[in-house]
Amino acid sequence: MNTAETDNKYEKLLNPDELWALVDCNNFYASCEELFRPDLKDKPIVVLSNNDGCIVARSQKAKELGIPMGEPEFKIRSFLKLHNVAVFSSNYALYGDISTRVMHIIDEICPCEPYSIDEAFCRLKKSLAPNCLEIAKLLRERIQKWTGITCSVGIAPSKTLAKLANHIAKKENGIFILDPAQENFNELLKKIPVREIWGVGKKQSEKLRTNSIRTAYDYKSASEEWIQKNLTVTGLKTLRELHGVPCIETDFSDTPKSLVCSRSFGVRIQNFAELLEAVSSFTAQGAERLRRKNLLASGMCVHIRTSSHAQNCCKNTANALFPYPLCDTKTMLPIAKKLLEGMYRKNHAYVKAGIMFYGILPARSIQKNVFSLLNEQEEQNTEKLMHALDAINKRHGKHAIKFGAEGLENTAWRMKQEHKSPYNPRDIRNLPIAKLS
DNA sequence: TCTGGGGTCCTAGGACCC
DNA sequence: TCTGGGGTCCTAGGACCC
């Protein structure tokens, strides 16, 4: 099939009613830190992953220094020092709060579907197309003015193209509209490496390259059969989206399919008691998140592993279905312990552990079942206990009260956070002070 | 010496059934 | 003695996203 035929085929499928705008905050974590440290404006800033492991965000100046995303901090420590780079441990309470504010602003202008902490898709009626540019300008200006965060806006008929439009916007003046009908559409796609396409990762881009598919235009021109055979149905959806045909649904439901709580340790652990403390603590944190979101889990999985950089990396997981969907820590802790006992091996240096809840359901969808009716009084007591526990922790701070199995605050396995900014936007004492002269 | 965490989706392969 | 094949369900693992 030649390109002209392909284009015609997709033209028929075009959804005439909708456009997508992708709003993406620039250098989000680094920009959040900068809000509270105006002295760092236009300076290189990096934010580290949990445990102060890798670089997960960089300010524009840090990017210009050539600091790569995902680089382990210890490898470039002296470089960071030499160039006076401001280093922060991640402060998710801060980023989450700023994110909520940004999402509210977007939602007031047009209905928004948050996609990640720093991105949201907005559905625009195509009848608004003549005003797209105005809407994009308003989004950018208001977010900048009300939060201090700079964002980019990409607009196109499919989410994949909106992502590419955003990619171009970041290099232009912050706004770009990508329309398959525009004359230079193919020329624009020819400039974008295949790796920049949403859904094409490292492995797939290598595979594509060995088959001479190097740019977004090459991908768009490939045959459906070849793409589906080599990149599965997900790749096929991407192909159609590149032609402007929306086929990727994003799941915005409030009920996730799974919920994970896991951490790398500050030090290696061999001792069962310490490992159990960590797993119990993750179970308690996960259960608290379930209760906060009014969810129940049908089962859980515990995983532990030794270093993946060592020669004999050892990974273990163990699953258990709960007797009925639940969210109370008290019932979960003995289950987690039993799962861990079945996997733990002496003399292994464990570096990471975690738990995952699956089969998640909204609490209101569950009727009292046979099991819980048998112990109604006990169940009510547990519910009261969990409610009291959450209330105390909400009022007096995280970990104000907890289960003995979770261990003490200062145990060695807790993660390193040596560069954490002290800012909590909900605490008035943290607000920057403006001085008028 | 030191390399994140929380998600989703898809596929292959094994177990099981008839 | 000779011992099939197709469907379904589950799970582990890979790839991808931010």
- Per-residue model confidence as pLDDT tens digits over A22-34: 999 999 999 999 9
- pLDDT of A370 over the 70 cut: no
Distance, CA of A7 to C1' of B7, in Å: 34
A320 CB less than 7 Å from any atom of strand C:
no
Measured over the CA atoms of residue A43, residue A44, residue A49 and residue A52, the dihedral's sign is: negative
A263 contact to strand B (CB, 7 A limit): yes
Please give the nucleotide, over all strands, whose C1' is closest to the CA of residue A198.
Answer: C17
Q: For strand B, which residues in window 339-398 of chain A come within 7 Å by CB?
A: 351-352, 354
Q: Of all nucleotides in the shown strands, which has a C1' nearest the CA of A166?
A: C18
What does the radius of gyration of chain A's CA atoms come to, in whole angstroms?
Answer: 25
Which nucleotides of chain B are near protein (any atom < 7 Å from a CB)? 1-11
pTM of the model: 0.89
Asked if the Cβ of residue A70 lies within 7 A of any atom of strand B, the reply is yes
**Tell me, in Å, how far CA of A385 is from C1' of C16?**
40
pLDDT score of A1 more than 50: no
Look at the block and give the residue holding tokens 């969990």.
A386
pLDDT, residue A4, reads 45
Say yes or no: Cβ of A248 under 7 A from any atom of strand B.
Answer: no
Q: For strand B, is any atom closer than 7 Å to the CB of A53?
A: yes
The answer to whether the beta carbon of residue A50 comes closer than 7 angstroms to any atom of strand B is yes
CB within 7 A of strand C (chain A, 131-160): none
Q: Which CA-bearing residue is nearest the C1' of B9?
A: A234
What per-residue confidence (pLDDT) applies to A409?
65
pLDDT tens-digit readout, A201-251: 999 999 999 999 999 999 999 999 999 999 999 999 999 999 999 999 877
Which carries the bigger pLDDT value, residue A339 or residue A417? A339
Q: Protein A360 CA to nucleic acid B17 C1', in Å?
A: 29
- Measured from the CB, is A192 under 7 Å from any atom of strand B? no
Burial of A256 (0-12, 13-18, 19+ CB in 10 A): middle
- pLDDT score, position A405: 85
Nucleotide closest to residue A200 (CA–C1'): C16
Write down the mean pLDDT value for chain A.
88
Asked if A253 contacts A259 with a C-beta cutoff of 8 angstroms, the reply is: no
φ, ψ for residue A66 (rounded to 5)? 85, 20
| Among chain A residues 113-172, those with CB within 7 Å of any atom of strand B | none
**One-character DSSP codes across A308-359:** TTSTT--EEEEEEEEEEEE--HHHHHHHHHHHHHHH--TT--EEEEEEEEES
Nucleotides of C under 7 A from a protein CB: 11-18
Among all strands, which nt has the closest C1' to A233 (CA)? Answer: B10
Upper half-sphere CA count for residue A334 (Cβ side, 13 Å): 3
Nearest to A58 by CA among A77, A95, A32: A32
In the structure encoding, which two tokens stand for residue A7, read together?
A: 């284009």
Q: Is the CB of A229 under 7 A from strand C?
A: no
The mean-pLDDT minimum among A80-94, A162-176, A404-418 falls in A404-418
Taking the CA of residue A202 and the C1' sugar atom of nucleotide C16, their distance in angstroms comes to: 9
Residues of A from 60 to 89 whose C-beta is within 7 A of strand C: which are they?
none
Q: Which residue is nearest to nucleotide B3 (CA to C1')?
A: A72
CA of A262 to C1' of B13 (A): 28
Kindly indicate the confidence band of residue A407, based on its pLDDT and cuts at 50, 70 and 90: confident
pLDDT digits (tens, 9 = 90+) for A381-396: 888 999 998 998 888 8
A201 touches strand B (CB under 7 A): no
Beta-strand relationship, A18-25 and A151-156: antiparallel
In this complex, the answer to whether residue A261 has its CB under 7 A from any atom of chain B, a nucleic strand, is yes
The mean pLDDT value for A400-407 works out to: 84
A115 touches strand C (CB under 7 A): yes
DSSP track, A150-208: -EEEEEESSHHHHHHHHHHHHHTTSEEE--TTSTTHHHHHHTSBGGGSTT--HHHHHHH
